[in-house]
Amino acid sequence: MKTPEHPIFLESVKYIRSKLGITGLDKVQQSILERIIHSSGDFSLQSCIRFSPSACENAINALKNGAKILTDTYMAEAAISPMAKRTINSDVQCILGMAPNSIDSTLTTRSAIGMRNIWLDLEDQENLLNAPFVVIGSSPTALICLLDLVESGYATPSLIIGMPVGFIGVSESKSRLLNSDCPYIVLEGSKGGASLAAAATNALLRAAEP
């Protein structure tokens, strides 16, 4: 039995639906859109969100089968972990835990190194039979690193939530994801952030809850 949502959240969703009207999205896609609008107060996100075919269904199945959730920031990890615990108890891990404390920032980022290290480590240890679900709300370099690994023959994630926020390299990384063979949920352009990426993830966790 699903845990109940807070009454204020439910009232907010009712209001959001009244403003959105008919979206043409399926039930899960709609819930993701509602949660990211609720988290941001920004109705314009409706025009930015993109789903690859069957992305949500496949991600829900992966989560039900125990897929690990990887985040690019500790903020996203903190926002997702409570929902994970009260729904299907998914393991949530930030890639920065696999990054060195000090790097040459002119060459790379801690996020990119963390992504590479954790993806290679997981592939070695688990063979990624049930590939992780990856949440990117901040780092376009982590997203690019992951796409490079997949194109090099490493495992494809169960889903990539591609919502890095900002300007430098952000739109380019999202465009590359949109043109890849990876399953995705993307906010096009410069919008995004940890809270939105976490909100999308939490919608999928709710959908995966028995």
Residue numbers annotated as active site: 38
CA dihedral 104, 107, 110, 112 (to 10 degrees): -160
| Cα–Cα separations (whole angstroms), residue 161 to 102, 120, 133 | 27, 20, 8
Q: By the 8 A CB rule, do 147 and 155 touch?
A: no
Q: Which residue has the tokens 């409706």?
A: 46
Phi/psi zone of residue 24: left (φ > 0), alpha (ψ -120 to 50 degrees), beta? left
Alpha-carbon gap, residue 13 to 204, rounded angstroms: 16
